[in-house]
Structure 1
Amino acid sequence: MDLRARITDLMRPAREELAEFVAIRSVADARQFPPEECARAAQWVLDKFAGLGFSDAHLARTPDGSDAVVGSRPGPNPDAPTVLLYAHYDVQPPLDDSAWRTPPFELTEVDGRWYGRGAADCKGNILAHLLALRALGNDVPVNLKLVVEGSEEQGTGGLEAFVASHHDLLRADTILVCDTGNAAVGHPAATVTLRGMVNVVVTVETMASELHSGMFGGAAPDALAGLIAMLASLRDQHGNTTVTGLDNTQTWTGAPYPPEQFRADAGVLEGVSLLGDGSVSDMLWARPAITVLGIDCPPVTGSTASIVPRASARLNLRVPPGMAADDAHSALVNHLKAAAPWGVHVTVDLEAIGSPFQAAVGGAAFEAMSAAMSEAYGKPMATLGQGGSIPLCNVFSDTYPDAEIILLGVEEPLALIHAPNESVDPGEIKALAESLALFLQRYAALRG
């Protein structure tokens, strides 16, 4: 029986296995969910991989207090290449339960897709790992290492710190980061760039206290109006990000993202324009992008006829490869202060910063993955960028500079990861599993 037929047979019980996994509410935030749920998920992962030859699989406590599942499986000989499999078992909180069409922690099939928190991000990717290894059976031609972390969604850096202090434990020739996906269902892709990010809180202060707008309005400086003017300076009339000192003309050279597909994927309302004067791919993956995440000011309900003396906004700046995150942070701070009107007092506090990432392409692993995905999906493998940040990729790159790092997964746009109604197309799990199995065979042959 060939790999495709084996994986087809394995898909029959796969739904129940994923349902069992999704039912574990492994949100890595003890304020919202009991930590025992993450412990259950970690043990679930450990047991599954221990049953597939990772006899030394164990839980490793990381510096942020989360547990990573770590293990190895020797190949046919020590000289065979080593491949590290990465994923994470923690999930985002479900957010508003009422916004879900199905119970968030109960895998439910609707119109051929499987709905549930973590079904795609990232438990569906873990299932694909398991299916690939089961399909290969005893014929895995490489040395394997495994790390499945438990705090990726919290961004607390537990595994990043663990890698830095356990160099040899996870050292590999190729690292498969299964936490991204394709541009569309059935269209294989490897992610080759990740945008970095800068999160800041900007605060404007103008007066000692609120003042009655009838008595003082017109001359008294309004902090909220000052903040709005500063925020308005961050984009031009076309929606381009215009932070002084940052290049907003870079272009994307990989696969395009058709505007009509993006409009559908993003749910853009009729008549509303897409932002920027570049292509969708340029705006998503090659250029800086500023987002106002939140504003602290009086809410409409309960507001009074008062001039606001203090207002704040939380901003997120996505930083494409080719720009240094530290330089982007400095540019944003300088821009905000220069744009501040009327001499208002401005403070800009840094919350978080992460560097962009660019993967090397053209090596033996990349060539093997391209061939494997093309065979599994029946279409050529494209290269994509991702707007999100995965700081671990930079840690892997710095720690193992000779390793090839390939990002892939089941998390295409319809998956709605991090949002209500997350789902996975089971065909993506099947095709990814076949791709992974074929990759291990082809990579061993190329490196043999």
Structure 2
Amino acid sequence: MDTQQATDLARGQMPMVRDALSRLVAHPSIAFDGFPAEPMHAIGEDLLEMFRGAGVPDARLLDLGVGYPTLYAEIPGPEGSPVVTLYAHYDVQPAPESQGWTTDPWTLTEGEDGRWYGRGAADDKSGVVAHLATLAAFEGRPPVTIRLCIEGEEEAAGNIDDYVARHPEQFASDVFVVADSGNASVGEPGLTTGLRGNVTVTVTVRTIEKSLHSGLFGGGAPDALVSMIQLLGSMYDENGATVIAGLDSYEWPDGHVDERMFRESAAVLDGVDLPGEGDLASRLWSRPAATVIGLDACPVDGAANAVPPSARARVSLRIAPGSDPQRQAEILTSFLQENAPRGAHVEVTDVKINQPFLAATDGPAVGLALDCLGEVFGKPAAQHGSGGSIPLVETFLSTSDGAEAILWGAEDEEKARIHGPDESVDPKELEDLIATQILFLARLAESR
């Protein structure tokens, strides 16, 4: 297949893509506890109808034993053809009014800039419809054997990893295509070849047995919240970089992130400096980064003049691609325990680990993917990292010796604003992703 054929096929699918994405965005498919289950069940039925209509007659909702199901299918290709798993997820982050949306998050809305706005329009219902259009373009007869996996609990850290580990034969593949990433900016093709992992812990600091009057005891009794602040502060240097000794860290090769673009994407306030020093790509993709994502202490409303006896924090540590996550967790735990100010009692509990990912970039599938990206987008494709974590990638790879993973998508880092207000996708970016997938699958079959 040549590039023009692939782009023509993708362009022909775009009216269907717009309609399908509109239907999917209309479902507030939030898998977190406390949100209604009805939208999750409704979107599952819509997905079945869509994929069966795209030439996948045996598409079914796979019961994982707990939580929401995964849409799964096997589409046989020619005998002896490569096996490719196509992955995306249909659950989304919440979109509370407090985020400040300027459009209805559950209605796909075209903006004046031509982008399509709505919760999940990028993350990751764009990946879902990209796979839908790719399969529809082949009219039920793909050139390779396809295993389709559309997860329902990715945002909620669901149970598919355990299921894949227990049933590797259902997912064993030569290539895993994960459409849950994106280019640095629209029209600038890139393959995600590294993902930071994540270690999350709860740290509790205790200093006294009960609250004490700050007038009678302040200045003498050890304040647990101050101790917590000092302990958390010790994770950083004066520039805000994470400096926990022993954590894996390296410079990202040939990477570049435009600081102006990044500041705009992150909505950094005027006059506020970015943390750390040196190459921004390395700070985001291959150096460790600790974030205090939760803090339990004395609330401001109703605050009493008392010395607090305890404080609790939730710390998320992003770890470098290629690192041993268990070892990084041990280093973080030891650091917090050993740096307790003035003998404060520190307990580290509820340790959660997400695997990092570092692609084997010399593999034939990765090379082919880079070539296809470059041909469709009309310029050489870069290899970039991501600060986010997709632990399922390593679980997928564990099912198949010698398998490769391809991470791409339509979630451009510059404007998509995934997880935030006014999330959006660029339709041309989505069309080019679909064309790239069509070309990749055709060329992969030809290479065998």
TM-score (normalised: structure 1): 0.95
- Name the structure 2 match of 1:73: 75
The one-letter amino acid paired with 1:190 is L
CA contact (8 A) 2:322 2:357 kept: no
> Residue 21 in 1 paired to residue 29 in 2?
no
Match of 2:339 in 1: 339
**Mapped contact 1:63–1:161 kept (Cα < 8 A):** no
SS of residue in 1 equivalent to 2:121: coil
Counterpart residue number, 1:149: 151
Partner secondary structure for residue 177 of structure 2: strand
Who is 1:266 aligned against?
266
Partner of 1:224: 225
2:122 equivalent in structure 1: 120
8 A Cα contact 2:56 2:140, kept in partner: no
Pick closer, same or farther for the CA change 1:213–1:138 going to 2, 3 Å: closer
How far, CA to CA, are the matches of 1:13 and 1:392 in structure 2? 29
How far apart are 1:363 and its partner, in Å?
Answer: 2.1
Deviations 1:321-358 (A, max 9, x none): 24211111111121112221121111111341122111
Distance 2:16 2:248 in 1: 50
Deviation at 1:67, TM superposition (A): 0.8
Cα distance in 1, alignment partners of residues 53 and 206 from structure 2: 60
CA distance in 2 between partners of 1:243 and 1:378 (Å): 42
**2:38 counterpart letter in structure 1:** E
Gaps of 5+ in 1: none
* Offset from partner CA, 1:169-193 (integer Å, 9 cap, x none): 2221111011111111111111111
Q: C-alpha distance in 2, partners of 1:360/1:118?
A: 30
Contact 2:99 2:420 in 1 (8 A): no
- 1:176 aligned partner, one-letter code: V
Tell me how far apart the structure 2 counterparts of residues 436 and 428 of structure 1 sit (CA, whole Å): 12
AA in 1 matched with 2:400: Y
* Rounded Cα–Cα distance in structure 1 between residues aligned with 2:349 and 2:6: 53
From the superposition, tell whether residues 316 and 23 of structure 1 become closer, same or farther in structure 2 (CA, over 3 Å).
Answer: same
Contact 2:117 2:424 (C-alpha < 8 Å) held by counterparts: yes
1:417 aligns to 2:418 (yes or no): yes
CA distance in 2, matches of 1:65, 1:364: 36
Partner Cα distance (2:336, 2:101) in 1: 38
SS in 2 for 1:269: coil
Residue 10 of structure 1: how far off its partner (Å) = 2.5
Q: How does 1:22-421 map to 2 (within 5 A)?
A: 22-33=25-36, 35-75=37-77, 77-96=78-97, 99-110=100-111, 111-137=113-139, 140-156=142-158, 158-248=159-249, 250-413=250-413, 414-421=415-422
Could you say what secondary structure the match of 2:168 adopts?
Answer: coil
CA RMSD in angstroms comes to: 1.7
Q: Which amino acid aligns with 1:282?
A: S
- Report SS of the residue matched to 1:244: coil
Quick one: distance in 1 between partners of 2:337 and 2:5?
63
The match for 1:11 is 14
Q: Which string of whole-angstrom CA distances, capped at 9 and with x for unpartnered residues, describes residues 276-312 of structure 1? A: 1231111111111000112111122321221111111
Please state how far the C-alpha of 1:139 moved relative to its aligned partner. 6.0
CA distance in structure 1 between the aligned counterparts of 2:394 and 2:66, rounded to whole angstroms: 18
Q: Partner of 1:399: helix, strand, or coil?
A: coil
For the 8 Å contact 2:248–2:320, the answer to whether it is kept is no
SS of corresponding position for 1:168: helix
Q: Which moved more, 1:262-271 or 1:134-143?
A: 134-143
Q: Which amino acid aligns with 1:169?
A: Q
Compared CA separation, residues 30 and 223, structure 1 to 2 (3 A): closer
CA distance in 1 between counterparts of 2:441 and 2:247 reads 41
Tell me: CA distance 1:70–1:243, structure 2 relative to 1, closer, same or farther (3 Å). Answer: same
Give 1:381's aligned amino acid.
A
- Per the TM alignment, residue 220 of structure 1 is displaced from its structure 2 partner at its CA by 0.7
Q: Higher mean Cα deviation, 135-144 or 303-312?
A: 135-144
Q: How far apart are residue 30 of structure 1 and its match?
A: 4.8
Q: Percent identity?
A: 42
Contact between 1:52 and 1:134, CA under 8 Å: does it hold in 2? Answer: yes
Q: 1:21 to 1:362 in 2, by over 3 A?
A: same
2:51 counterpart SS class: helix
Q: TM-score by structure 2 length? A: 0.95
* Cα distance in 2 between the residues matched to 1:54 and 1:135: 12
Task: Give secondary structure in 1 for the equivalent of 2:200.
Answer: strand
Question: Contact 2:75 / 2:142 at 8 angstroms: preserved in 1?
Answer: no
AA in 2 matched with 1:122: D
Deviation at 1:36, TM superposition (A): 2.4
2:405 match: secondary structure: strand
CA distance in 1 between partners of 2:93 and 2:256 (Å)? 29
CA positional deviation for 1:86: 0.7
Q: CA deviation at 1:98?
A: 6.0
Most deviating of 22-31 and 218-227? 22-31
The DSSP-based 3-state class of the residue aligned with 1:390 is: coil
Deviates more, 1:126-135 or 1:203-212: 126-135
Residue pair 1:195, 1:388 contacting (<8 A) in 2 also:
yes
Equivalenced residues, count: 443
Following the alignment from structure 2 to structure 1, what is the Cα–Cα distance between the partners of residues 254 and 88? 25
Q: 1: CA distance between counterparts of 2:162 and 2:406?
A: 21
TM-superposed CA distance for 1:254, in Å, is: 4.1
Whether the 8 Å CA contact 1:244–1:332 is kept in 2: the answer is: no
User: SS of 1:272's equivalent?
Assistant: coil
For 1:205 and 1:170, the matched residues in 2 are separated by: 47
CA contact (8 A) 1:203 1:313 kept: yes
Question: Are 1:100 and 1:420, in contact at CA under 8 Å, matched by a contact in 2?
Answer: yes
